[in-house]
């Protein structure tokens, strides 16, 4: 699955980080970054929680193809305005 689908799931509120971790890049502390960590169990449960999504089709989308999750997010934002 593309990273963009993961980001749409975050915007929809389907997944959220559970903590942050520190990742070291290179030998200096200047290369360290804090990155969000996610529960794999919560991610694994998404197909059961959202059966309205065609998960096999979502996993086969290629570069440049619009995500069906984008439509859901756009509709949600329009409804809350």
Summarised one tens digit per residue, pLDDT across range 24-74 is 877 766 778 888 999 888 889 999 999 999 999 988 998 889 888 988 877
Q: With 50 as the cut, is the pLDDT of residue 5 above it?
A: yes
Q: Tell me, what DSSP letter sits at residue 73?
A: H
d(C-alpha 76, C-alpha 68), whole Å? 13
Q: Structure pTM?
A: 0.72
Q: With 60 as the cut, is the pLDDT of residue 81 above it?
A: no
Which pLDDT value is given to residue 29? 64
CB 50 within 8 A of CB 64: no
């Amino acid at each position: 699955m593309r990273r963009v689908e993961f980001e749409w799931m975050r915007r929809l509120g389907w997944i959220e980080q559970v903590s942050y971790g520190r990742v070291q890049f290179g030998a200096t502390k200047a290369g360290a970054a804090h990155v969000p960590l996610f529960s794999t169990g919560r991610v694994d449960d998404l197909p059961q929680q959202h059966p309205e999504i065609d998960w096999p089709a979502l996993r086969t989308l290629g570069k440049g193809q619009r995500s069906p999750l984008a439509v859901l997010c756009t509709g949600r934002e329009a409804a809350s305005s």
